[in-house]
Amino acid sequence: MESAALSRIGLAGLAVMGQNLALNIAEKGFPISVYNRTTSKVDETVARAADEGGLPLFGHHSPREFVLSLSRPRSIIILVKAGAPVDQTIATLSRFLEPGDAIIDGGNEWYENTERRISEASPQGLLYLGMGVSGGEEGARRGPSLMPGGSRQAFDNVADILSKVAAQVDDGPCVTYVGPGGAGNFVKMVHNGIEYGDMQLISEAYDVLKTVGGLSNQDLANIFDEWNRGELESFLIEITADIFKVKDEHGEGELVDKILDKTGMKGTGKWTVQQAAELSVAAPTIAASLDCRYLSGLKEEREAAAGVLEQAGISNEALRASVGAVDKKRLIDDVRQALYASKICSYAQGMNLLRAKSQEKGWNLNLGELARIWKGGCIIRARFLDRIKKAYERNGSLPNLIVDPEFAREMAQRQGAWRRVVGLAIGAGISTPGMCASLSYFDTYRRSRLPANLVQAQRDLFGAHTYERIDRPGSFHTEWTKLARQSEAGVGAHN
């Protein structure tokens, strides 16, 4: 389309995400200019806009013309590969930008890169937003969840556009000003960490139902469809049901059984676990999902290990047989409950990681509002995010989702089923690291007395690290070895 007037917004980077988001913005009635380093993608996007009924989208091959085609103050969304390509794109465009103009990086960027770019942009008077975008190709085109953080002014300049472009749910568009600095990227990173956890937990539910319950792909498709009509209703459950239905075009059976069991990853899950460790926040379910991806990558080693251990007498069949026959109907219901309870623990970990970072950085993150903007558009969108939102609305300083009265009740109702599934899986030799990590997290968190007393005693014995007592104030050190020897010799401390 020929540009008659200046565009309201620009978008640079026209791969999968950029093209679709640009078409979405144009479709919502905001004239948009687009640019890409490789100009054929500009032409491709312009052609798509024409095909889709002549959307107000204007392509530019030159960065200068692209920038000058925007009304001021200018707002440019960048959707290129994270890292150096973002710096290169900023360098290309910023030569033509003027004070008050804004750059909005929509990539999966490391939050500290955004904070560096905010300070680099500010001497030129440029505003900067790091905006998490979730929902993949379909979300970008039909309505993503948007997590913008950084300059409040840059957000306000495009708030009307973002609100229309984002997914819409019952309580508004799936976008909010997340917070200053790299808050938007950090929130997107944790979203992805939670996504790793959800996917791992679903894969464990599948494994238990298939291996212990003997369910076929058709049964699994039906069950996941049914689950998607209840408390587990979510995008990931819905797509999982669909996956079980797809036949293999190259042979018998369903495609899912022909897929190599090696999971890929791009890094945001690893960052989430690294940040959890940095902030001393326990995130065992997310960490377990990351570990599982690493172990899945060792396909050849695992095959060799299976052989060695089978020779040593560990057989899958014998382990499976050791748990005996199961009541399928009950197993399916138990797994549903175990999945739900495990999910709550995983989200509790992610939310607590967000809160810890918010406190460290002074971001003032609103956890209930973040749960709300994840209700639509993004990969972890789910019915139960509304419950999380409400839990934080009831109590903004809730220390853990598990102790919200409603979630506490739900955990209590499901813990029997949850323990049965984990116990059964352990007995049958089916690894369920996510469900086990969630259950251990739950049991560790809810027990007022842990065996940490013994660890403190050990630390004091070998390192004189001292310990506190439960019955009197102060810090204490004991000559443990000397007293133990005296005790052995019958010369106890009280003699």
Q: Is 228 annotated as a binding residue?
A: no
Q: Which is nearer to ligand NBP, 267 or 399 (CB)?
A: 267
Q: Which is nearer to ligand NBP, 92 or 431 (CB)?
A: 92
- Selected from 23, 32, 79, 189, the binder of ligand NBP by CB under 6 A is 79
Q: Is 107 in the site for ligand NBP (CB under 6 A)?
A: yes
Q: Is 15 annotated as a binding residue?
A: yes
Q: Which is nearer to ligand NBP, 270 or 336 (CB)?
A: 270
**How far is 277 from 287, CA to CA, in rounded Å?**
10
Q: Is 239 in the site for ligand NBP (CB under 6 A)?
A: no
Q: Which one-letter DSSP state was computed for residue 449?
A: S
- Least separation in angstroms between residue 80's CB and ligand NBP is 3
- Compute the half-sphere exposure of residue 187: CA atoms within 13 Å on the CB side of its CA: 38
Q: Is 108 in the site for ligand NBP (CB under 6 A)?
A: yes
- Selected from 1, 71, 73, 81, the binder of ligand NBP by CB under 6 A is 81
Cβ neighbours of 359 (radius 10 Å): 12
Q: Is 17 annotated as a binding residue?
A: yes
Q: Is 62 in the site for ligand NBP (CB under 6 A)?
A: no
- Selected from 44, 65, 73, 85, the binder of ligand NBP by CB under 6 A is 85
Q: Which is nearer to ligand NBP, 211 or 263 (CB)?
A: 263
Q: Is 8 in the site for ligand NBP (CB under 6 A)?
A: no
Q: Is 13 in the site for ligand NBP (CB under 6 A)?
A: yes
Q: Is 38 in the site for ligand NBP (CB under 6 A)?
A: yes
**How far is 490 from 158, CA to CA, in rounded Å?**
79
> CA–CA distance from 458 to each of 280, 448, 470, 489 (Å)?
21, 20, 17, 21
Q: Is 192 in the site for ligand NBP (CB under 6 A)?
A: no
Burial class (CB in 10 A: 0-12, 13-18, 19+), 409: exposed
Q: Angle formed by the axes of helices 433-446 and 183-207, to 10°?
A: 110
- Please choose, out of 66-74, 81-89, 411-419, 478-486, the segment that lies near ligand NBP by the rule CB under 6 A: 81-89
> CA–CA distance from 355 to each of 182, 362, 400 (Å)?
14, 10, 10
Q: Which one-letter DSSP state was computed for residue 174?
A: S
Give, for 369, the enclosing helix (H) or strand (E). helix 367-373
Q: Is 196 annotated as a binding residue?
A: yes
Residue 338 is encoded by which pair of tokens? 């175990």
Residues in contact with 339: Cβ distance below 8 Å, sequence separation at least 6, in sequence order: 201, 202, 205, 232, 435
Q: Which is nearer to ligand NBP, 133 or 339 (CB)?
A: 133
Bridge partners for 78 per DSSP = 12, 105
Q: Which is nearer to ligand NBP, 64 or 72 (CB)?
A: 64
Number of residues that bind ligand NBP (CB under 6 A): 23
Q: Is 250 annotated as a binding residue?
A: no
Q: Is 88 in the site for ligand NBP (CB under 6 A)?
A: yes
Helix, strand, coil % (nearest 5) of the chain?
Answer: 60, 10, 30
Residues in contact with 160: Cβ distance below 8 Å, sequence separation at least 6, in sequence order: none
Active site members: 188, 195
Give, for 146, the enclosing helix (H) or strand (E). strand 145-150
CA torsion 186-189-194-195 (nearest 10°) is 150
Q: Is 28 annotated as a binding residue?
A: no
The binding track of 125-164 with respect to ligand NBP, each residue x by CB under 6 A or -, is --------xx-xx---------------------------
Positions in the binding site for ligand NBP (CB under 6 A)? 13-18, 36-38, 41, 79-82, 85, 88-89, 107-108, 133-134, 136-137
**Which parts are annotated binding residues?**
13-18, 36-38, 80-82, 108, 134-136, 191-192, 196, 266, 293, 459, 465
**Which parts are annotated binding residues for substrate?**
108, 134-136, 191-192, 196, 266, 293, 459, 465
